[in-house]
């Protein structure tokens, strides 16, 4: 007995949970006569949160149906009357769909549903009858909805909710008064429906008469506007099936009247077992080229990576020679492909020619960079500026500018010789060009990177921003650090020759020794400059 009561209690709790937050719709289906009518329904909110609902209907039925209210808010335990009005006329049945969500505070049902909301829905069918309406007492439950997943971040406001509900109720009441004027005048609705039926019948008869008259008029106009050849063709159609010669002549006349198209030419060629017109044209062009002495040569192209490895990335493009006579190709000695600049310039002009506003020289020194920018415009008053590791140091003097011009000329000649070395057929036997020395103002500059700081000369920088000048004691510690660093690098060069690569020269001068000749050298000590900020 106890287990039976417990089972009933659990079943009742399950039913209560299923009915939580459901829109209750009474009379799931209803009937309306063809003369029009009104149907009322009641929506009930079951649960502990209010519900916002909207009524949906197919657009093509908007002129036959009106639903008030089309949207609204129902509080827990309250009901809302839904009025459906149908105009007279013979229109098929339809479904009304009522959708709803949990309405948080300050939500306006005149706006779209909240993103991420659970949308419940219930439908009921509209049945159109000609005679008397039968009574139906049908009740249906909608699906359960919760506020889970709603994206709503507005603060609650009871005053704004009350004001919004009053506005919606006033708007619905005004529209309902206009809608429900004389709702019980059945005679008037019947008279309107009869008039609509008579008008439909008369319009159908008129439309059928008009269609027949237009068909006859078109036929008469076509008969009067026929040309002599068309009349002759129409007279010969009767004898088409009984006389094959006449049928062939008629087909010939019809083909002559049709406009020429590419599809017809292709079909005709296929029927006569001829080659395709386009392929025949290609074959004729190939014969003409062979007669004139042209020939296509297919050779293996060098890869893009190999060209970039020899001549520099982004500086050259590979171009196939155009079709030339066979005699010219046999006389050519440099091969069937040319390496051309993308803008038709020489190597010195393409790579290292100074621009009209700025000239830049880059040189690596002790893991740093020295950049010189100079203005070549004669009317400009700005002098060349010296940058070390991206930091502006000073402007160049006239003597240093002349030294820079000499260096640029030597460097341009060096690049031309380097390109000729790589492009020559006997590049392995030719002598490798020597690189010109750096300008004098770039020879005695040393930069130190120490735990995020950079020291150039006697100036301390952090992130290329000037901080301060170092003291005499710090300068001594920095010089000692430089000496220790040189000794340590010499020891490393003996242990591992690959570390002793010098960026200032094009070749490495390191000796491989199995056993180091020097005693182990400890790493240099930190000069402690960045700590004392």
- Interval 55-77: pLDDT, tens: 887 777 777 778 888 888 888 88
The pair of three-digit structure tokens given for residue 159, joined into one six-digit string: 């005053």
Is pLDDT larger for residue 248 or for residue 512?
Answer: 248
**Least confident stretch, 10-24, 346-360, 413-427:** 346-360
What pLDDT, on a 0 to 100 scale, did the predictor assign at position 232?
61
Q: Read off the pLDDT of residues 314-330 as tens digits, 9 standing for 90 and up.
A: 444 434 443 444 444 44
Task: Report the pLDDT averaged over residues 14-43.
Answer: 56
Which among 34, 33, 99 has a CA at the least distance from the CA of 72? 99
* From 209-213, 239-243, 507-511, the region with the lowest mean pLDDT: 507-511
CA 48 vs. chain centroid, Å, equals 46
Task: Characterize the bridge pairing of strands 368-374 and 385-388.
Answer: antiparallel
Q: Average of pLDDT values for 193-209? A: 51
Does the structure show a pLDDT above 60 at 204? no
SS3 149: coil
Identify which of 188, 176, 189, 187 has the alpha carbon closest to the alpha carbon of residue 32: 189
- What residues form DSSP beta bridges with 450? 453
pLDDT band for position 32 (cuts 50, 70, 90): low
Provide the b/e sequence for 369-383 (b: ≥16 CB within 10 Å). Answer: ebbbbbbeeeeeeee
Please report which helix (H) or strand (E) contains residue 359, including its range: strand 359-365
Torsion region of 339: left, alpha or beta (phi above 0 gives left; psi -120 to 50 gives alpha): beta
Model confidence at 101, pLDDT cuts 50, 70, 90, reads very high
Average pLDDT over residues 499-523: 52
Confidence check: pLDDT of 506 > 50: no
The dihedral through the CA atoms of 19, 22, 23, 29 has a sign that is: negative
Four-residue CA torsion sign, 210, 215, 220, 226? positive
Q: Which structural domains are found in the chain, ordered by start? A: 9-184 (2.60.40.10), 304-341 (no CATH), 354-442 (no CATH), 446-533 (no CATH)
Q: For the residues 32-52, what does the mean pLDDT come to?
A: 77
Identify how many contiguous H helices and E strands the chain contains and give both numbers. 12, 20
What value does the mean pLDDT of the chain take? 64
pLDDT at residue 484 greater than cutoff 50: yes
Is the Cβ–Cβ distance between 53 and 25 less than 8 Å? no
Maximum mean pLDDT: which of 266-275, 303-312, 365-374 = 266-275
Q: In this structure, how many other beta carbons lie within 10 angstroms of the beta carbon of residue 9? A: 10
Looking at 160-174, 488-502, 504-518, which range is the least confident one?
504-518
Task: With H, G, I as helix, E, B as strand and everything else as coil, classify residue 99.
Answer: strand
Measure the CA–CA gap between 73 and 111, rounded to whole angstroms. 12
> Higher confidence at residue 219 or residue 41?
41
Q: Phi and psi (nearest 5°) for 352?
A: -125, 15
| Three-class secondary structure of residue 232 per DSSP | helix
Label residue 32 exposed, middle or buried (CB < 10 Å: 0-12, 13-18, 19+): buried
* pLDDT of the residue at 230: 60
pLDDT in tens, 436-479: 887 777 656 677 777 667 777 777 777 777 778 888 888 888 88
Q: Is the pLDDT of residue 369 over 50?
A: no
pLDDT band at 246 (very low <50, low <70, confident <90, very high): low
Give yes or no for residue 194 having a pLDDT over 70: no
Question: In 10 A of CB 462, how many CB atoms?
Answer: 13
Give per-residue pLDDT as tens, 5-26: 444 444 454 444 444 444 444 4
* pLDDT exceeds cutoff 70 at 379: no
Residue 264, pLDDT above cutoff 80 = no
């Amino acid at each position: 007995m106890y287990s039976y009561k417990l089972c009933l209690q659990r079943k009742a709790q399950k039913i209560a949970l299923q009915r939580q937050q459901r829109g209750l719709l009474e009379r799931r289906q209803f009937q309306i006569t063809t003369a029009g009518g009104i149907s009322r329904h009641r929506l009930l909110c079951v649960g502990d949160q209010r519900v916002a609902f909207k009524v949906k209907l197919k657009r093509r039925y908007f002129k036959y149906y009106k639903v008030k209210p089309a949207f609204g808010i129902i509080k827990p335990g309250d009901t809302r009357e839904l009025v459906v009005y149908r105009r007279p006329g013979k229109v098929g049945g339809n479904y009304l769909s009522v959708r709803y969500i949990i309405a948080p505070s300050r939500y306006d049902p005149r706006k779209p549903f909240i993103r991420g909301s659970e949308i419940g829905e219930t439908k009921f069918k509209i049945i159109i009858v000609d005679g008397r309406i039968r009574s139906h007492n049908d009740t249906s439950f909608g699906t359960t909805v919760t506020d889970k997943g709603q994206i709503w971040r507005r603060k609650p406001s009871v005053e704004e909710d009350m004001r919004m509900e009053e506005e919606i109720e006033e708007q619905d009441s005004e529209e309902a008064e206009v809608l429900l004027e004389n709702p019980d005048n059945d005679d008037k609705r019947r008279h309107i429906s009869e008039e609509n039926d008579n008008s439909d019948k008369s319009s159908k008869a008129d439309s059928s008469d008009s269609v027949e008259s237009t068909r006859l008029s078109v036929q008469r106009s076509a008969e009067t506007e026929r040309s002599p050849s068309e009349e002759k063709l129409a007279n010969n159609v009767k004898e088409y099936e009984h006389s094959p010669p006449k049928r062939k002549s008629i087909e010939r006349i019809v083909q002559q009247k049709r406009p020429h198209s590419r599809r017809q030419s292709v079909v005709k060629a296929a029927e006569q077992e001829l080659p395709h017109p386009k392929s025949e044209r290609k074959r004729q062009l190939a014969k003409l080229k062979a007669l004139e002495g042209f020939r296509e040569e297919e050779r293996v192209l060098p890869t893009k990576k190999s060209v970039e490895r020899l001549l520099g990335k982004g500086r050259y493009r590979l171009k196939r020679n155009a079709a030339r006579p066979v005699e010219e190709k046999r006389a050519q000695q440099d091969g069937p492909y040319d390496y051309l600049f993308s803008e038709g310039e020489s190597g010195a002009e393409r790579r290292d020619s100074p621009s009209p506003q700025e000239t830049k020289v880059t040189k690596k020194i002790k893991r740093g960079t020295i950049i010189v920018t100079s203005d070549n415009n004669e009317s400009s008053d700005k002098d060349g500026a010296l940058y070390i590791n991206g930091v502006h140091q000073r402007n160049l003097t006239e003597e240093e500018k002349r030294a820079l011009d000499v260096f640029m000329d030597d460097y341009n000649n060096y690049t031309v010789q380097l390109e000729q070395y790589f492009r020559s057929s006997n590049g392995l036997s030719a002598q490798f060009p020597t690189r010109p020395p750096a300008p004098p103002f770039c020879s005695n500059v040393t930069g130190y990177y120490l735990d995020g700081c950079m020291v150039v000369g006697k100036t301390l920088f952090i992130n290329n921003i000037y901080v301060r000048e170092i003291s005499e004691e710090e300068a001594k510690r920095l010089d000692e650090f430089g000496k220790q660093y040189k000794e340590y690098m010499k020891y490393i060069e003996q242990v591992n020759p690959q570390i002793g690569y010098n960026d200032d020269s094009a070749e490495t001068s390191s000796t491989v020794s199995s056993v180091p000749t020097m005693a182990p050298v400890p790493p240099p000590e930190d000069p402690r400059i960045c700590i004392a900020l």
